[in-house]
Homo-oligomer: A and B are copies of this chain.
Amino acid sequence: MPRTHAPALPARADVEEAARALTGLVARTPVLHSPVIDRLAGARILLKAENLQDGGSYKMRGATLAVGRLAAAGHTGVVAQSTGNHAVAVALAARRHGLAATVVLPDDAAPVKVDRARAAGARVVRAGTTVEERLAVARRIAAADGHPLVDAYDHPDVVAGQGSASLELIEEAERRGTPLDALVVPVGGGGGVAGACLAAAGTPIAVHGVEPVGCDSLARSLAAGRPTPVAPAPSLADGLRPGCVGELPFAVARDAVRDVIRVDDDAIAEAFRLLLLELKVVVEPSGAAGLAGALRLAARDDAGPWERPRTIGVLLTGGNVEADLVARLACAPTHAAVAA
């Protein structure tokens, strides 16, 4: 795996160190499993339930690592921007370390994420609907206050921290005697999939990204050989709509990720329902996209059966979702098969 940007790139050892540093600071979430989902997939699907993580998402990992190191370095405050989960995670991590936090959220952020960031004691600033608008505001605040900006994905501690979730899943699958053949991770800015690539480095595990149709910046970037923005299409998966994959995640993933699976809203809604009614957990659509991608991967007919993954790990990235969306998705069967 050529490391063209080697000096700045985190490696597997950084993920292992992140996992050690986070022990006791974040939850070691369970790996769940459903015979019904396995039957549907025709493969064993192991689901890492980061929706049960503190703060409701795996973003808690990267934020806790990054903010903890900034606190240890003497900083008294941090600034962050995101569509929600990273902001909530930074707010919680800052409170734990006694730092002030300012988080910049879009005008159309899910109210539950705004509420959670405020409940964690952060100052919440609303700014536009695009990542560029939020970043501009966040950089201005960071400069004015003299506090560092904790990027949601273009940050080595964030990538390494997110990677610890994949590492735990890989280890747990081995412990159960069913090592992963593939690992499927939803992609927004790419921090999670980059972390997964690092965690899987040196193993035969194929890492697949999942992007909503029309929000496929990583897929386009891989094709173009450089970070390539998209004008994100509407998607149920509000967390997977950054305009462009981050430079650092792209540099990590470009030669390490197997490919990107695109999923539409119907597939995401079906996965959401399966998780709700079969696995008994609430996963936000951005997280459910991971299972949608795994089901797509398992059904591929472009490989002989001997090449199909027998055990597929999926990162269920978060569970912060509005009650009315749960209600809407719970009942609207997109395919009759889901109810079977």
- Contact in complex: B319, A323 (CB < 8 Å): no
Copies of the protein in its oligomer: 2
CA distance A281 to B277 in the complex (A): 10
Interface residue? A326 (CB, 8 A): yes
Given A30-B52, A52-B30, A330-B326, also A280-B283 (CB < 8 A) = yes
Is A331 in contact with chain B by the CB < 8 A criterion?
A: yes
Nearest chain B residue, comparing its CB with the CB of A283: B280
**Contact for A331 among B283, B319, B321, B327, CB less than 8 A:** B327
The interface residues of chain B lying within 8 Å CB-to-CB of A277 are 112, 282, 321, 323, 326
Instruction: Please provide the chain A residues from 272 to 328 with a CB less than 8 Å away from any CB of chain B in the complex.
Output: 273, 276-277, 279-283, 319, 321, 323-324, 326-328
User: Which chain B residue shows the least CB distance to A316?
Assistant: B280
Q: For A279, what are the chain B residues with a Cβ–Cβ distance below 8 Å? A: 52
In the complex formed, the residue of B with least CB distance to A54 is B35
- A282's partner among B32, B276, B321, B327 (CB-CB below 8 A) is B276
- Complex Cα distance A30/B33, Å? 13
A56 interface residue per 8 A CB criterion: yes
Interface: A82 (CB within 8 A): no
Taking CB atoms, residues of chain B closer than 8 Å to A330 are: 323-324, 326-327, 330
**Cα distance A153–B51 in the bound complex, in angstroms:** 34
Tally chain A residues at the interface, Cβ within 8 Å.
Answer: 25
Q: Which of B56, B331, B339 is within 8 Å of A280, CB to CB?
A: B56
Which residues of chain B have C-beta atoms less than 8 A from A319's C-beta?
A: 280
Tell me, in angstroms, the Cα distance from A164 to B52 when the chains sit together.
Answer: 23
Residue among A52, A280, A339 with the most chain B CB within 10 A?
A280
Which of B112, B273, B280, B333 is close to A52, meaning CB atoms less than 8 Å apart?
B280
A273:B323 contact, CB within 8 angstroms: yes
Identify which of B56, B282, B323 contacts A281 (C-beta below 8 A): B282
- Nearest-CB distance from A318 to chain B (Å)? 9
Question: Which B residues are in CB contact (< 8 Å) with A327?
Answer: 326-328, 330-331
**A317 CB to nearest chain B CB (Å):** 12
Contacts of A112 in B (CB 8 A): 277
A148 smallest CB distance to B (angstroms):
26
B276 touches A326 (CB 8 A): yes
Chain B minimum-CB-distance residue to A33? B27
A325's closest neighbor in chain B, by CB?
A: B330
Given contacts A280-B319, A323-B330, A330-B330, 16 further A-B contacts (CB under 8 A): A30-B30, A52-B280, A52-B281, A56-B280, A273-B323, A276-B282, A281-B281, A281-B282, A323-B331, A323-B333, A324-B330, A324-B331, A326-B327, A326-B330, A326-B331, A327-B328
Q: List 17 A-B contacts (CB under 8 A).
A: A30-B30, A30-B52, A32-B52, A52-B280, A52-B281, A56-B280, A273-B323, A276-B323, A276-B326, A277-B282, A277-B323, A280-B282, A280-B283, A323-B330, A323-B331, A323-B333, A323-B339
For the complex of A and B, the 6 pairs showing the least CB-CB separation, nearest first, are A280-B319, A327-B331, A327-B330, A327-B327, A280-B282, A326-B330
